Structure 1
């Protein structure tokens, strides 16, 4: 059986994009400890994390501020002879959600950990809503381009052969106004100042159309 011979087929693509404010904040709180004994270092890290967890859980609220533990590490230090001469470790607590004031205020109150990183993103709900808008935009542009190409070649219209839809978002650089760690003592009971950026959600529609001589409904 011979493969189908393609005639009057056009390959094309179109995209749609929507810019939206990032609505998900994540703050990482960390601390490090070191000492001669691994057990002592581990205990100190656990105490620091437990205290921070207890404080953070008081303000936790589903979707608005979720609390979870992050990375925990404990590793030896070596002297110039290659022998262990101490231990060092770190632990992490992550505050994440949509309620920026609640998250930043909680981060400012935690004293056993210091702020390690601030990041912004889109929540699933926000991304889904904006993707729908960008997808509608991309599809309409794809159809318009297909019609224009068909008419330019003297055809009356087109039928869709195959199509692929891909979405992604590109975050613009946020502008977190980070406080110096040396100023931690001045942050008691105060919110950590942050400022979110924006993301551009893009949807690309690509595929092929069959150009036809008779009028058709795209």
Structure 2
């Protein structure tokens, strides 16, 4: 039998143990849930970008170079008459054309110009003129940088609102409050490049303006993250 005086000595410790609350759940032991949300906004394709080229075959590289450079110079001269169109020299390639026995029979050369403008009417007219002597390799309609940024911001806000709405639904269904632990935000949306007819068909076309239709590009924002359910 434990002496009474020993029991008295142990009572403060026993009282302290009984009065100490259970430790709170650590953040690491709380339930976490991964979520994702997406939203998109249309961005007007208000910028046109085209690549035109001069291509020919010649017996000697020097003769071929003079012909191609002449066509490119004429194209630049025509393009510079349109102040609303940004013109830039592109890639130039030359390579030999081999015949029987592995001998070089001819040389082929191609040189490009890049045209960019928000004035689609002017660019359409210019492309119609250039097709008399040059081919059109590609034509793309895309949002101008400021147009894209605006659509990205709007899509991002929509995606964030959708993420918070999902988080609230899940937390309320479980009878919990929540906090956001982390978020990752990404945006996307690339307009396709419009394929153009072969150069041979374009070379025989008249100087009628090339039809250009802008349309829209869907800019998407993707939100992924994690919420933590609170006690």
Give TM-score scaled by structure 1 length.
0.85
Matched, 1:14 2:14: no
CA, structure 1 residues 183+13, in 2 after alignment: closer, same or farther (shift >3 Å)? Answer: closer
Q: Deviations over 1:37-86 (max 9, x none)?
A: 0111111111100110011012133xxx2111222110011112112121
Bigger radius of gyration, 1 or 2? Answer: 2
Matched, 1:154 2:175: yes
Distance in 2 (CA, whole Å) between partners of 1:12 and 1:41 is 61
Distance in 1 (CA, whole Å) between partners of 2:205 and 2:175 is 73
| Match 1:101 to one of 121, 133, 142 | 121
Q: Who is 1:75 aligned against?
A: 95
Matched, 1:144 2:165: yes
Q: Who is 1:37 aligned against?
A: 60
Distance in 2 (CA, whole Å) between partners of 1:173 and 1:6 is 51
Give TM-score scaled by structure 2 length.
0.80
Distance in 1 (CA, whole Å) between partners of 2:95 and 2:211 is 33
Q: Deviations over 1:146-175 (max 9, x none)?
A: 1111111110x211111100000143686x
Greater fraction of residues in helix: 2
Q: 5+ unaligned residues in a row in structure 1: which ranges?
A: 214-218
**Within 5 Å, which residues of 2 pair with 1:1-218?**
5-61=28-84, 65-110=85-130, 111-155=132-176, 157-171=177-191, 182=201, 184=203, 187-188=206-207, 190-213=208-231
Give the aligned CA root-mean-square deviation in angstroms: 2.3
Alpha-carbon offset, residue 186 of structure 1: 5.2
CA, structure 1 residues 165+6, in 2 after alignment: closer, same or farther (shift >3 Å)? Answer: farther
Q: 5+ unaligned residues in a row in structure 2: which ranges?
A: 1-25
